[in-house]
Each structure stands twice: as structure tokens, then as C-alpha cells.
Amino acid sequence: QKEVEQNSGPLSVPEGAIASLNCTYSDRGSQSFFWYRQYSGKSPELIMSIYSNGDKEDGRFTAQLNKASQYVSLLIRDSQPSDSATYLCAVNIHQTGANNLFFGTGTRLTVIP
């Protein structure tokens, strides 16, 4: 069964703090993991991808992957009000002819000035 689970939130953090977003998945065959950010009324945009166990850093964002625990997380350092959005975790699944993504329902983050 394909499942990607996220805490729906809302998660509120003060400006300048670290926001920690978590995601678990059920398909042990998954190989690729993505974090998308979605502002209200807008479409998702990719912010991070990770394929290997460990950490991957890009500016203020760090993605962490633990395949043994089937867990992926996103840390946002020095959170800014502009980071307030819904963050979607996506995991690849292999279906006929393509590698598709299965999305969690998202975690809503609010950064309080």
C-alpha cells in the first residue's frame, strides 16, 4: 500500500527559529524523495530532492533521509515569514511505464514575525 504521511499542522515557529517538517512513507522500494512548497492558491514548487541516506543542504534548507526507518525530513533554518506555506512531501513509486510521485497531504507552516 502506498502511503506518505505528514503531520498536517499547523506548525507555528517564530521568525529566526528552525522549522522541522517530517514525513514517513510505506513503500520500501522508493528511491527518490522530494519536498515541495505550496503557497496558498498557488501550485507546488520543488525546493529539495534527496536520494541517498543522510543530509543534503541547500541554503537554509536541509533534507534528511533515513531509508531504514522510512523517514524523510526537512529543516528550515532562520525561518522567515516568507516561508509560511504548505510543505508537501513526495515519494517516487514505480507504476506502469513511469516513476510516479505519491504525495503526502502537506504540513502547513506559519512563521510568526
Partner 1 sequence: DVKVTQSSRYLVKRTGEKVFLECVQDMDHENMFWYRQDPGLGLRLIYFSYDVKMKEKGDIPEGYSVSREKKERFSLILESASTNQTSMYLCASSSTRLSTDTQYFGPGTRLTVL
Applying CB under 8 A, which residues contact partner 1?
8, 31-32, 34, 42-46, 49, 51, 88, 90, 92, 94-106
Nearest C-alpha neighbor of 73 from the set 82, 58, 83, 63? 63
Q: HEC string of 19-72?
A: EEEEEEECCCCCCCEEEEEECCCCCCEEEEEECCCEEEEECCEEEEEECCCCEE
Question: How near is the Cβ of 82 to partner 1 at its closest, in Å?
Answer: 19
User: Phi first, then psi: what are they for 93, rounded to 5°?
Assistant: -130, 145
CB of 21 vs partner 1, minimal distance in Å = 15
Q: Which is nearer to partner 1, 8 or 80 (CB)?
A: 8
Residue 26 C-beta: closest distance to partner 1, Å: 15
Residue placing its CB nearer to partner 1 in the complex, 93 or 111: 93
| For partner 1, the closer CB: 69 or 96 | 96
